[in-house]
Every structure is written in structure tokens, then in C-alpha cells.
């Protein structure tokens, strides 16, 4: 039985505590937390688990006005993280009235049509706050958390694994799954096409053409073999922005689905 691990993207205005939530879930200081808006510049992904369920979480940069090209690229990346995710967590601050940026983030998240949670963090700074005080963003469910003290996070994770079964696609069969992995442009899609005997994958002489996983089922000696063609994996550091980065997450999740990796 194989399943696709869900991806959770943590988005929100700068400095609301996204990285603190990410760290709290991983129970380690994986990413830098600082009281300076714009601390996180690059989306960071890690595999997490709760009560027997595994998932990926992506910590993104804070949403700000794009003052320059670099900032614009970052903002684009946040949109892509949200687009690639299965569940989106929008984070706001409990003690600060909802801002224009909070509204922008909420709108963008809701527009994807995916499950969205509202995490109202820093609730230690607004002790009287109730979840219903934050309904105006139109997001449900709402959780109050104090990430810096690991408080309230369990409830978010409990709800996540409640909805996770929707993303698990059990394929209880005896199909052998083979994932084709490798650096960009080494001929994975060509091999995939020869094996699949049909032009299913887009083959192009441009490194990184495959943005997602192509699948084909071939019959060999009466047995079904499912081939998973993945995006090329580059060394981290060389991984570009945006779509490519999220393709790599998809490749990593293909490794998990596969029985054999070539
Ligand atoms: N009082 C309080 N402070 C918090 C809480 N969570 C985070 N902080 C603090 O808020 C500041 C920002 O936290 P980060 O986790 O870096 O916030 P971020 O959203 O990742 O920020 P950017 O990456 O800059 O967008 C840090 O000083 C944290 O220690 C909380 O629940 N309560
Ligand atoms: Mg951060």
C-alpha cells in the first residue's frame, strides 16, 4: 500500500511566528527565529509526523510588499508553496488587529480551494482572546497558539491528521512501483518513455523540464509495473526557486511511494 504524503505550507505576514511553529512541530530549532520581519528568506521543507501520520511541512518567508525584484521572487515562491501544498496554514498574531497583509494572505490561501487553517499565534500576548474574535478572515478552523512555548500546536496537528486520510490514496495491489531518479537531464524521461512505450513524459533538452511526477503502468510477464518519472534532483544549494523546489519535494515523495528506485 502506498500513499502520497500531504504537504502543509505555513504562510503569513512577516514576524508572526511561522518559523517558531515549524520548529515547535519538529521539536528542534531547525530554522532561525528572530524578532526581525523578513528573517526567513527561503522556503524550508522538513518531514514531520504526528500520531503515526507523516507529512511534509514547508516554512515560507513572510508576505510583504514587493519593493524590489528579489522580494517579488520571494513572494512568488510563497504563492507556489501554497499552490503545491495540500493544506495551508495561515498564521496571524493574536494581539494585533488584522492587517491588510493578513487579508491578502487569507485571500490567496482561500483562493486555492484547499483546506486552510487559521493559526492565531502569540496568544500569550492576548490572554482574553477567543477563536471567534478572528472569524472575519473567513477561515475555519481557528487555533490559538503560543509557538514559543509549544502551546496549542497539538490541537493543530490533531486536526491535520483528521483530514490527512483524504490525501492518502491507498493502492492496495501488487503493482511494483519503480521511481526514476537522478540529476536533471540524465535521460530519465527518455528511459521512462521507452519503458512506457508511449510519449507520455515531456522530453525536452532543457534541464528540469519535468516539474511533477509522470506515471505509467506497463505490463510485463503478467505483472503490472508502475513507473514514476520524477523531476531531476540537483544538489541542494543549486536548487532554484519556485516550481523547481517544489518538484523536488514531489520527487522525494515518489521515493517513498516506490518499491525500487533507479
Ligand atoms: N510572545 C510570543 N512570541 C513569539 C511567539 N512565537 C514566536 N514569537 C517570537 O516572534 C518573533 C518572530 O518569530 P519567527 O518564528 O521568526 O516569525 P516568522 O513568521 O517566521 O518571521 P519571518 O520569517 O521574518 O516572516 C521571534 O522573536 C519569536 O521568538 C509566541 O507564541 N509568543
Ligand atoms: Mg520565519
Any ligand 1 atom below 6 A from CB of 96: no
For 211-245, write each residue's pLDDT tens digit: 455 666 666 666 667 766 665 554 444 444 444 55
- Residue with CA at minimum distance from ligand 1 atom 30: 122
CATH number at residue 200: 3.40.50.300
Q: Three cell numbers at 41?
A: 528568506
Structural domain including 240 reads: 176-261
Which pLDDT band, with edges at 50, 70 and 90, does 204 fall under?
very low
Pair 27, 127 in one domain: yes
Output the pLDDT for position 51: 92
CA 204–ligand 2 middle distance (angstroms):
36
Indicate whether 160 and 39 sit together in one domain: yes
How many structural domains are present in the chain? 2
Q: Determine the distance separating the centroid of ligand 2 and the alpha carbon of 78, expressed in angstroms.
A: 12
More confident residue, 68 or 136: 136
Task: Provide Rg for the chain, Cα atoms.
Answer: 20
pLDDT at 157: 97
Do 156 and 30 have their domain in common? yes
Residues 250 and 122 in one domain: no
Domain membership of residue 1 (yes or no) is no
Q: Cβ-count burial of 97 within 10 angstroms (0-12 exposed, 13-18 middle, 19+ buried)?
A: exposed
The answer, yes or no, to whether any atom of ligand 1 lies below 6 A from the CB of 165, is no
In this prediction, residue 166 carries a pLDDT of 73
pLDDT of residue 38: 78
Residue 152: predicted pLDDT: 97
Highest mean pLDDT among 44-53, 233-242, 246-255: 44-53
- Is the pLDDT assigned to residue 207 strictly greater than 50? no
**Whether residues 99 and 67 fall in one domain:** yes
Q: Which of 166, 200, 224 delimits the end of a domain?
A: 166
Which of 166, 186, 208 lies at the terminal end of a domain, its last residue? 166
Task: Give the SS3 label for residue 17.
Answer: coil
Is the CB of residue 62 below 6 angstroms from any atom belonging to ligand 1?
yes
Among the bound ligands, the one closest to the CA of 44: 2
Examine the domain organization and report whether 150 and 202 are in the same domain. Answer: no
Q: Is the preceding omega at residue 221 within 30 degrees of 0, hence cis?
A: no
Q: Do both 30 and 104 map to the same domain?
A: yes
122 touches ligand 1 (CB under 6 Å): yes
As a whole number, the mean pLDDT across the chain is 78
Q: What is the pLDDT of residue 237?
A: 47
Please tell me the distance between residue 248's alpha carbon and the centre of ligand 1 in angstroms: 28
Amino acid at each position: 500500500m502506498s500513499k502520497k504524503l500531504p504537504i502543509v505550507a505555513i504562510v503569513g505576514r512577516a514576524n508572526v511566528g511561522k518559523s517558531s511553529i515549524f520548529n515547535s512541530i519538529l521539536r528542534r530549532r531547525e530554522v532561525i527565529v528572530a524578532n526581525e520581519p523578513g528573517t526567513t528568506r527561503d522556503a524550508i521543507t522538513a518531514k514531520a509526523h504526528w500520531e503515526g501520520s507523516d507529512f511534509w511541512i514547508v516554512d515560507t518567508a513572510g508576505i510583504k510588499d514587493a519593493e524590489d525584484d528579489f522580494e517579488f521572487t520571494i513572494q512568488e515562491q510563497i504563492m507556489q508553496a501554497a499552490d503545491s501544498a495540500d493544506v495551508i496554514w495561515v498564521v496571524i498574531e493574536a494581539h494585533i488587529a488584522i492587517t491588510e497583509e493578513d487579508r491578502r494572505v487569507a485571500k490567496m490561501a482561500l483562493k486555492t480551494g484547499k483546506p486552510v487553517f487559521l493559526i492565531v499565534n502569540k496568544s500569550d500576548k492576548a490572554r482574553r482572546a477567543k477563536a471567534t474574535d478572528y472569524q472575519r478572515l473567513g477561515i475555519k478552523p481557528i487555533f490559538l497558539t503560543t509557538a514559543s512555548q509549544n502551546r496549542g500546536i497539538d490541537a493543530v496537528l490533531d486536526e491535520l491528521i483528521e483530514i490527512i486520510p483524504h490525501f492518502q490514496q491507498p493502492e492496495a495491489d501488487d503493482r511494483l512501483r519503480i521511481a526514476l531518479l537522478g540529476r536533471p537531464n540524465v535521460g530519465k524521461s527518455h528511459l521512462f518513455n521507452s519503458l512506457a512505450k508511449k510519449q507520455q513524459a515531456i522530453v525536452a533538452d532543457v534541464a528540469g523540464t519535468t516539474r511533477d511526477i509522470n506515471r505509467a503502468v506497463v505490463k510485463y510477464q503478467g505483472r503490472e509495473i508502475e513507473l514514476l518519472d520524477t523531476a531531476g534532483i540537483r544538489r541542494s544549494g543549486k536548487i532554484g526557486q519556485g516550481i523547481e523546489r517544489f518538484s523536488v519535494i514531489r520527487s522525494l515523495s515518489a521515493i517513498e511511494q516506490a518499491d525500487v528506485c533507479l
